[in-house]
Amino acid sequence: MEPAVSLAVCALLFLLWVRVKGLEFVLIHQRWVFVCLFLLPLSLIFDIYYYVRAWVVFKLSSAPRLHEQRVRDIQKQIVRVEPLVSMGQVTALLNSIGWTLPVLPELDDLTVGGLIMGTGIESSSHKYGLFQHICTAYELILADGSFVRCTPSENSDLFYAVPWSCGTLGFLVAAEIRIIPAKKYVKLRFEPVRGLEAICEKFTQESQRLENHFVEGLLYSLDEAVIMTGVMTDDVELSKLNSIGSYYKPWFFKHVENYLKTNREGLEYIPLRHYYHRHTRSIFWELQDIIPFGNNPIFRYLFGWMVPPKISLLKLTQGETLRKLYEQHHVVQDMLVPMKCLSQALHTFQNDIHVYPIWLCPFILPSQPGLVHPKGDEAELYVDIGAYGEPRVKHFEARSCMRQLEKFVRSVHGFQMLYADCYMNREEFWEMFDGSLYHKLRKQLGCQDAFPEVYDKICKAARH
């Protein structure tokens, strides 16, 4: 009987393993069923609600008696916003009156508060820096309940310590941000480049040319990329007009890939707001893993107007089990490294995670106090390397692979965006980030008993 019992137990364990693995496969690769049937309609309802709410608020604050005040505000080239204002709302308002933010991160739902307390970047950052570098003032409620306003000249220590602090120094209640004149279109050039050395050289050259309003690269393999450069313009060649943000249009990264596949350069005129949110509909390329047929023309024409699902709803409905599964089968990381280390960094990404496409976005990092600054006393050109998708390395193990990548980033004086999974221990974290001003202010402001330290708030080693 014992061999029979053992055989039955083994068979039962095998069936259980198959069932678990089958469930994992469905949860990871067939999530589109839940997303299409539930999250897309729910996201649409949320969008309608917030659109109506914003319209009402705008109309109530747009009475003729406020016109002169609004004109004076615009003349100052500063816009004052609350932290929950999203980039979609900012572009809808400012672009309609001929203005824009110097740095306007891509996704519609990104908020001012998140971009300040975390960070934000756009293809104009080679000129203007990160989102924090276009901010001129913050208003916060501190641990003792007091209100404080900080600028580069007033409470300057707090002003420089707030970015990347993830709400651990106080509650952000308002921010003042620079605005610049906008034009109607972006004249965008597409150039396929092959060979890693040529890619790095071309990307660096274009990032150093300040006449380019926008610079961006999409890397489709270690030696194949499309480098895009753009300038704002009011003139347009109608034959080359591409309203890429329209719901029925191909996803932007797929559209760009066509230039690589056909090995041709291109020139297009894209409406400014469409350009700013070019990656929104496909959440860069994340949506292809959630709705694999999402870029199919039939799906785009019938249901593209409902895309994308709200990222907040995707996270809310994820659950702990699915979160752990995604952690082992999925990577979402932005690593910021000096431009001079780009080639070495891309080799490291290839060896440690092997995820494509990869997003390349240059930015100038000023030498200012705070958690993030270059090693020397002068501003330095950096690049954001964004990896989003399913790793293709054999035997991928999230913790060990990501710790390897984090180690490399620390070795070149780079930084990891704090929205992503972070596996560093406390010592390694404070080796990457300059905590001198941050810790001084936490002590001065009595934050220890009111807010967690930023490491405890965001790092896996502290939370699990």
* 75 band by pLDDT with thresholds 50, 70 and 90: very low
Residues 6 or more apart from 266 whose CB is under 8 A from it? 189, 190, 259
At 58 the pLDDT is 62
- pLDDT tens track for 358-404: 999 999 999 999 999 999 899 999 999 999 999 998 888 989 999 99
Is there a shared CATH topology between the 67-181 domain and the 185-280 domain? no
In this structure, the number of other CB atoms found within 10 A of the CB of residue 94 comes to 19
Instruction: Note the pLDDT of residue 170.
Output: 97
Q: Is the dihedral of CA 289, 290, 292, 294 positive or negative?
A: negative
Residue 74 pLDDT exceeds 60? no
**pLDDT tier at 31, thresholds 50, 70, 90:** confident
How far the first Cα of the chain sits from its last, in Å, is: 44
> In the numeric block, which tokens belong to residue 167?
């709400």
Confidence check: pLDDT of 6 > 80: no
Type of residue numbered 66: L
Higher pLDDT, 178 or 46: 178
At 114-140, the pLDDT tens digits run 999 999 999 999 999 999 999 999 999
- Please tell me the class of the 185-280 domain: alpha beta
Average pLDDT for 319-338: 84
Give me the pLDDT at residue 19, please. Answer: 47
Write the pLDDT tens digit of every residue in 431-445.
Answer: 999 999 999 999 999
> What is the mean predicted confidence (pLDDT) over 65-75?
51
Q: Is the pLDDT of residue 20 over 90?
A: no
CA dihedral sign, ordered 47, 52, 56, 58: positive
Beta strand segments in 179-325, E: 180-181, 185-194, 214-221, 224-233, 266-271
Does residue 253 or residue 59 have the better pLDDT? 253
Assign 57 a pLDDT band (cuts: 50, 70, 90).
low
pLDDT recorded at residue 28: 57
The reported pLDDT for the residue numbered 63 is 46
Torsion of CA 305, 310, 315, 318, to 10 degrees: -30
| 430: its two tokens | 């404070």
Domain ranges of the chain: 3-61, 67-181, 185-280
Return the closest-CA partner of residue 186 out of 145, 240, 265, 146: 240
- pLDDT greater than 50 at residue 201: yes
Model confidence at 342, pLDDT cuts 50, 70, 90, reads very high
**Region of poorest pLDDT, from 4-8, 351-355, 396-400:** 4-8
What is 67-181's CATH number? Answer: 3.30.465.10
What pLDDT score does 461 carry?
63
For residue 420, is pLDDT > 80? yes
pLDDT tens sequence across 276-323: 999 999 999 999 988 999 999 999 999 999 888 887 777 777 767 677
Kindly indicate the confidence band of residue 325, based on its pLDDT and cuts at 50, 70 and 90.
confident
Distance CA 316, CA 334 (A): 22
Q: Over pLDDT 70: what percentage of the chain?
A: 87
> Is pLDDT larger for residue 73 or for residue 268?
268
What is the mean pLDDT of the segment spanning 452-458?
Answer: 94
The answer to whether residue 11 scores a pLDDT higher than 50 is no
pLDDT score recorded for residue 13: 44
- Distances in whole angstroms, Cα of residue 378 to Cα of each of 294, 364, 366, 368, 399: 45, 10, 7, 9, 34
pLDDT at 77 > cutoff 80: no
